[in-house]
Structure 1
Amino acid sequence: MYIAMNRFRVHPDNEDAFRRRWLDRDVLLKTVPGFVSFQFLKGPKHEDFTLYASHTVWESFEAFQGWTQSEQFRAAHANAGEGRALTAGPPVFEGFEVLQNVSA
C-alpha cells in the first residue's frame, strides 16, 4: 500500500472557501485503478493558519503513479491555480510506503 498526502496552510479568513473548493468538487479518484480511500483532514489551528491535508490510500506506489498520469488527474487539477489563492504557499507533498497496516 502507498499513502499520498498534501498539507495546506490556510489563512483563517479563507477556510470556508478552501473547504468548499474541496467538498463541492467532483471526486474522480473512485474511477482510477488501485484507489483505496480518501480523507480530507482539518488539523490544528495556529495563529496565522489552520493546517489541512488530503490523505489518499493506494494499493501500490505504481497505482498512485497511474493516478498522477491519468486523464482523471488532469481533469481534477485543471483549474488549480485559478481564482484567488486560499493557502499560504503551495501544498507540501508527502508520500509513504505502508510497512504495516493493522485494522479492526
Structure 2
Amino acid sequence: MFVTMNRFTIDPDHWEDFEERFRQRAGLVDGEPGFIRNAVLRPESATSNQHVVMTTWESRSAFEAWTKSDSFRKAHEKAGQTPKEWFIAPSKLEIFESVTDSGS
C-alpha cells in the first residue's frame, strides 16, 4: 500500500472554506485504478493549523499514473483559483509505503 499526505497550513479563518472545497471536489480520483481512499483531516490541536489530505493507493505506480492522467489535471484545475490568504505556508507533500496495515 502507498499513502500520500499533503499538509496544508491554513489560516483558521478559512478552515471551513478549505474543507468545503474538498467536500465539493469532483471525485475524479475515486474511479482511478489502484485508488483506495481519500481523507481530509482537520487538526485537533489549537496550536496546529495543518490540515492533511491523505490518499491511499494499492501501489506507488497507481499513484504516479494518476498524477499523469487527464482526471488529475481536471481535479486540480481549481487549485490555482484558491485564494492565497487561506494559506499560512506552502503545502508539503509526504509519501509513504506501508510496512504493516491492520485494515487489510
Q: State the TM-score, normalizing by the size of structure 2.
A: 0.89
State the distance in 1 between where 2:90 and 2:80 align: 10
Q: How many residues align?
A: 102
> What does the per-residue CA deviation read over 1:46-86, in whole Å, with 9 as the maximum and x for residues that have no partner?
2xx62211111100000000110011100011121214121
Amino acid of the structure 1 residue aligned with 2:93: F
Say if 2:11 and 2:87, in contact at 8 Å, map to a contact too.
yes
Alignment correspondent of 1:35? 35
Alignment correspondent of 2:6? 6
State the distance in 2 between where 1:54 and 1:68 align: 15
Say if 2:19 and 2:40, in contact at 8 Å, map to a contact too.
no
- Runs of 4+ in structure 1 off by over 2 angstroms are none
Matched, 1:66 2:53: no
Say if 1:40 and 1:53, in contact at 8 Å, map to a contact too.
yes
Coordinate RMSD, CA, aligned: 1.5
* Structure 2: runs of 5 or more not aligned: none
Alignment correspondent of 1:45? 46
* Structure 1: runs of 5 or more not aligned: none
